[in-house]
Chain A
Amino acid sequence: MDNLIALLVAAPLLGAAVLLCGGPALDRVGHWLGTVLAAASFVIGAVLFADMLGKGAGDRALHQHLFTWVPVAGFKADIGFQLDQLSMTFVLLISGVGTLIHLYSVGYMAHDERRRRFFGYLNLFLAAMLLLVLADNYLLLYMGWEGVGLASYLLIGFWQHKPSAATAAKKAFLVNRVGDLGLSIAIMLMFTTFGTFSFGGVFGAAGQATEGKLTAVSLMLLLAACGKSAQVPLQSWLGDAMEGPTPVSALIHAATMVTAGVYLITRSADLFNGAPTAQLAVVVVGAVTLVFGAVVGCAKDDIKKSLAGSTMSQIGYMIMAAGLGPIGYVFAIMHLVTHGFFKAGLFLGAGSVMHGMNDEVDMRKYGGLRKYMPVTFVTFGLGYLAIIGFPGLSGFFSKDKIIEAAFAKGGTEGWILGSVALLGAAITAYYMTRMMLMTFFGEERWRDTATASPDAPDAEPAAQERGPHEEPLPHESPWIMTVPMIVLAVGSVGAGAFFGIGDRFLHWLEPVTGHSEGHSPVGAGVVTTATIVLLLVGVGIAYLQYGRKPVPAAAPRGSLLTRAARRDLLQDDFNHVVLVRGGEHLTRSLVYVDHTLVDGVVNGTAASFGGLSGRLRKVQNGYARSYALSMFGGTAVIVAATLLMRAV
């Protein structure tokens, strides 16, 4: 069974290689090849999962050592895989959701002439992401980490003819680099501290390391997680990443890649458990992002960007839970999985809406779509109920657990975190309801705008091919797109109950991450009640604002907070002022120093040597007599020196 692990990665990697290296001959079948290989990966994962279920909880972990990558004395880098319960969870999520989204993309990208390349990139992403979660050492994890960054870059910028997409891809790549730097520094620190970077070696030695070193490594890992998971302060790329095709947003920027940070922190639990300061930082980052993302999500009119804010916020929940330590690891992963289902479903629903609306993304130009897109409406609605935590659906079980865990942290900290989590739940309910109402209910606002702006300047090429007037009415998407949405909707509804009832997920993951029950100052029932009440408040406010009154087609000016939130709470302005301007000033001063000091020294040296040489050159006048004089003078000096030495 061990030998199957490599196949998990190899299948999509093969697909990527074939699709990217193969010529146009593959254009007709390439997308199916990619889908089949992704499905193959999922099937292998399922077989391994079945095998794993048959074993006892203690010896479920599988290892496969492929070969030694760098066999240098004192530095041994292996290509080796480790498949335990945590990895298994991710493998099933990644390959399962990945396969569904491949399927969806077959329909969504049907009119794109570069579809083969798109599927190649998707397969590449799957391979890299599986490598990330299957690696048994940090260096190989880093390889996968960079691989998903590359795939993300390629896919965000897939429509590279749009300047906004190209810029967004570049932005995502650059911001991710900051996080990647953290990961590479963390790996170097591990190597100097523990002499190894394999999981077994590092976690085995973590107990003996000083808290300071653990804190340093953990903070660097947190920086990496912030970059990849779009957490404050490295969150700014995620909103712009929505320039990519919607399946990409669903797969990479909602369900899988952005959760890599949560995986990293959970995987490194043994390091974080020994570094309370780093854990505190993790919790703070998670809590801040939770509110930040939610506020941004409230203000955006772009359906995908609103969902992106929501993603940020939900990952904030996970990061916060992971920062709580053994109380929260399991729930972080559980929320990650359920979130993977419902957020992917929501994104696919959004994509379906855009597909039917000529790629219009402004929610103010939607309205009343439930009649035209019943399947999308139902699946999106189930995802909506799941994310706001409607009792009985996935989000309810996972989010509720996180809020409980936050209170269980104890002390003032616990109260603050719990309150923030509750507030986040309310805001989530508000913005998701807003989105739902603006999209599927109310007046059919697209009727007046369809003629007003028939062809948006930045419309996707597929839209231009179809032409704005061929299908004037919103329409339901083809089956190949709705089937994945239905499957994901089923997951959104059932996963939470399946995991949560009887603590199945807890027992499954506990051997890897460990678990401890905190001492919650408030009872579980109180928390649940409070959550439901706040949820209803959020929904109610949204209904009063957007359900009762007609939605203006043009966005009102709004309060200061709204306007700020529309600009992503000024994150780009902050980056511009602090980093870009600061960088410019730093560069200018460095250039000044370079020009005056460095060049001065260099040129001065050169000039002084030049001047000296110019003077020395006159000695070389070519006259033999002059040289003879030098010789004679030299002889005199030597004689003088000899006599002096004798005299001394």
Chain B
Amino acid sequence: MSSPADLTALAAAYQTSTGEAVQFWVLGVVAVIGALCTVLMRRAVHSALCLAGTMIILAVFYLANGAYFLGIVQIVVYTGAIMMLFLFVVMLVGVTAADSLKETIKGQRRLAALCGVGFGVLLIAGIANASLRSWNGLSRANAAGNPQGLAALIFTKYVFAFELTGALLITAAVGAMVLTHRERVERAKTQREQSEERVRRGAQLPPLPAPGVYARHNAVDIAGLLPDGTPSDLTVNQTLKGRGQIRDVSQEAIADLKALEQRSETRLGRARGEGTGARGTAGEGSGGGDGTDPHPEREGRDETQGVTR
């Protein structure tokens, strides 16, 4: 290691190009941030997205390390398939439900942090302690092309492992189906039986009322209003209700009226004393006139509930 020729040769062996160094430092920081966000985001969707980002960066690193096939597989299989599977499940479970990050097990977080830091330090110390001086590089192994090289290994040296992995995948697929499949243990009820049962139970006999408010909102997440102006639970899907994704529009008419009055008041520019009287007549007129506001006494309430969750 003393002669300059040796030094340069070694440097070539275990020093990467400047471009790769820049890429490492930039993307590495992003990858760590992505990993941290995966852990720390309150919503599973955000975590999944952050993880996907981290994985893509890792794919880039694979490519940079000469693992071309793996880099592509990482993007296609991992980020494309597995992470999408995650997202599907997140959707099934509830996309908007945020987790509480409050710890319930006493001392768990502190100990986890301690163990994590300790473990990381140990790993890093171990790596630093190891003599990883000479990097051979993959130029020779990848001479015939990276996928070809992998294929040659997989179908010769690792052929049994490969076959076993195939069996594992089949088993996993069957297992997933078995786990999610629910066996019907009794005969399905006919329509007649269902209707008879409903009559006997005394539940809602006619079809459920439709969601939406006539001429204003017709989306499925908006509860129809009862004659007294309160929203009816029967009109909306219970799943949406369970997730807290129902919008309540019962106060919107009043809010609109109030805003209208304010605007007309501003436009007419009347004196405040008269304005009070005019407002009184206007209130009376609107109360008795169009009948859209069944609760005139609610006029004083100024807060408006928007989208509730």
Contacts and interface: CB of A to CB of B under 8 A. Distances in A.
> Does A touch B (CB under 8 Å) in the complex?
yes
Interface of A: 621, 623, 625-626, 629, 632-633, 635-636, 639-640, 643, 646-647
B108 A636 contact: no
Contacts of A626: 105, 108
B129 A633 contact: no
Interface in B185-218: none
Given A625-B105, A626-B108, A636 B129 contact: no
Contact of B118 (A625, A629, A636, A647): A636
Given A636-B118, A639-B122, A621 B111 contact: no
A646 B126 CA distance: 10
Contacts of A629: 108, 111-112, 115
A628 to B, nearest CB: 9
Contacts of A635: 119
A647 B125 CA distance: 11
B123 interface: yes
A647 B130 CA distance: 11
Contacts of A625: 105, 108
A639 B108 contact: no
B108 A643 contact: no
B126 A623 contact: no
Contacts of B123: 639
Main secondary structure of the interface of B (DSSP, over half): helix
Interface residues of B, number: 13
A112 to B, nearest CB: 84
Interface in B99-138: 105, 108, 111-112, 115-116, 118-119, 122-123, 125-126, 129
Contacts of A632: 112, 115-116, 119
Given A632-B112, A640-B122, 8 more contacts: A621-B105, A626-B105, A629-B115, A632-B115, A635-B119, A636-B118, A636-B122, A639-B123
A643 B111 contact: no
The 10 A-B pairs with the shortest beta carbon distances in the complex, nearest first, are A636-B119, A633-B115, A639-B122, A632-B115, A636-B118, A623-B105, A643-B126, A640-B122, A636-B115, A626-B105
B111 A639 contact: no
13 contacts: A621-B105, A625-B105, A626-B108, A629-B111, A629-B112, A632-B116, A632-B119, A635-B119, A636-B115, A636-B118, A636-B119, A640-B122, A643-B126
Contacts of B108: 623, 625-626, 629
Contacts of B122: 636, 639-640, 643
A133 B123 CA distance: 90
Contacts of A647: 129
Contacts of B116: 632
A636 B123 CA distance: 9
Contacts of B105: 621, 623, 625-626
A635 B115 CA distance: 10
Nearest to A632: B115
A626 B108 CA distance: 7
Nearest to A621: B105
